[in-house]
Structure 1
């Protein structure tokens, strides 16, 4: 229900042209206001506090829908931030999650923050506590990648922040889970575009999708998309409103691993047209590469999984996975 409702807004407000405009430095006000006014920011907030009280499992399809439209604002992160700030009043505006926080005598730095170029607030983990940092007081440094909204944010010593006890360890976990879901949604979009192009593009009197070499590549892409989607959805089966560590680690690892071959096959099948700015494919494959490393790539989360496997009493990897995501 929520996924269908938000899709109606995205069809009107989150067109490829709107995404390109925001990536080029345009104001995201129209898109953000339409979503915020519809109440989607409080999907995980309990009903007693004025939210929708949405089960975590239902959030997955919402995140997939956002990714299929190339969402250029931190809606997923803002929903997660409000869930992490349990009992605290969240500020209005865009909130994003910081993958890391570095504190030195000179101040604080959050490197490579997703949507750091736009966010009005940044929620970061400082040990077991949460820090809510004001975006308007930060020095923002862009990555230099064209169209990227990732930025490194820095604050001088003495910057006023809001400190919330507890839930600090959940930032990385939620960041991994939501980016796994976003990767799954973007991969589905890329697969749909690639399959449609292979069926429409004709060469030597027939569609290129009839050639066995193309069929093999699309089959491999389908396997990667389905595997990543299953792993990502499993991370949202928690009974509470926060994902579990190991299921999130597995989800992010598998989705990040799939991002590279999916993007590569998509561009291979599309040929020269796939790398052009005018064609929409690049809006999604850029996100695959960006979200792959957001809040840890597969290498990062494979280490977490490996440590858990070594400590487990499960007789095999399959048994470990079943017990983890059950």
Structure 2
């Protein structure tokens, strides 16, 4: 129900034209206000506190839908931030809040966070600082854009005087939630990219028939479809737990698998589209650029595969198949 309602808003407000306008410096308020005024920021807030009280499995399709539309504002991160702040004494801030899974503290007490999603556009940053949960004012930060075309990510740094006290000791939850959100976003964007590619191959004719009927093209589409399907299943795994934070092992598997699929899916999509696929006027690049950005966010597959590998070596399972079948769910429970 919530996913359909949100997608209806996304279809109207998060169009390719709106994304391009925001990338060029336009105000994101139209997109943000449409979702905020509908009350969707409180999807993970308990019903007793006026929210929808959704579980992690129920919120997963929402996060995937946001990726499918290449959401240009930190809406998913703001929903997660409210969930992480609800058991602390910190007030839920108004405006756009993003997540910084890793924030480095200097010897003088200053903080620095690199590659913060929507760091150039957000109002607040909920950060993991040495395992502590810290809510930072983005307006008090020195912001440096990442330099990638159209990206809102950036490096943010705060002077010691602008760093507040920590709110709780669950800072690691920020990294897990942020990685899980990016896994879902990758799955959603991949689904959109595959749909565009399949449609193009069916519509584009060569030698009297659509190129989608050529065996070589069908082979590439089938491989692409396998990775898209696997990414979708993996992203759902990250949100399979019963708690309010995605499980560590399940998130590691999800982020590793979705990130691993990005280079193949993006390159195949551009190859099958041919010359038109690399033009700025064509919408494909709006999604493939974000796939590459989200692949690196919170660590690429190399980072998360290391975590999965350590779990395989330390946990007692008869076979690797038993590990894959049971360990992620045991850890999420």
Residue pair 1:130, 1:164 contacting (<8 A) in 2 also: yes
Residue pair 1:108, 1:155 contacting (<8 A) in 2 also: yes
Q: Which runs of 5+ in 1 are unaligned?
A: none
- Equivalent residue number for residue 128 of structure 2: 125
- Equivalent residue number for residue 92 of structure 1: 94
- Equivalent residue number for residue 227 of structure 1: 230
2: CA distance between counterparts of 1:324 and 1:275? Answer: 41
- Equivalent residue number for residue 283 of structure 2: 280
1:29 has 2:29 as partner: yes
Residue pair 1:22, 1:28 contacting (<8 A) in 2 also: yes
1:159 has 2:162 as partner: yes
Residue pair 2:13, 2:30 contacting (<8 A) in 1 also: yes
User: Residues 166-185 of structure 1: matches in 2 within 5 Å?
Assistant: 166-185=169-188
1:308 has 2:317 as partner: no
Residue pair 1:97, 1:171 contacting (<8 A) in 2 also: yes
Post-superposition CA distance 1:141-188 (Å, at most 9, x none): 011111011100011121142521122111111111111110000000
Quote how far apart the aligned CAs of 1:240 are. 1.6
1:266 to 261, 266, 269: 269
Question: What is the TM-score of this pair, normalised by structure 2?
Answer: 0.96
1: CA distance between counterparts of 2:57 and 2:80? Answer: 13
Q: In terms of mean alpha carbon deviation, does 19-28 or 104-113 score higher?
A: 104-113
2: CA distance between counterparts of 1:195 and 1:153? Answer: 39
1: CA distance between counterparts of 2:322 and 2:166? Answer: 40
DSSP-derived class of the 2:311 partner:
helix
Post-superposition CA distance 1:89-139 (Å, at most 9, x none): 210110101131111126211111011010100111123321111011111
1: CA distance between counterparts of 2:242 and 2:115? Answer: 31
DSSP-derived class of the 2:45 partner:
coil
2: CA distance between counterparts of 1:89 and 1:131? Answer: 12
Q: Pairwise CA RMSD of aligned residues?
A: 1.1
User: Residues 10-25 of structure 1: matches in 2 within 5 Å?
Assistant: 10-25=10-25
Question: What is the TM-score of this pair, normalised by structure 1?
Answer: 0.98
- Equivalent residue number for residue 102 of structure 1: 104
1: CA distance between counterparts of 2:129 and 2:239? Answer: 25
DSSP-derived class of the 1:112 partner:
strand
Aligned residues, how many? 326
Change (3 A) 1:51 1:58: same
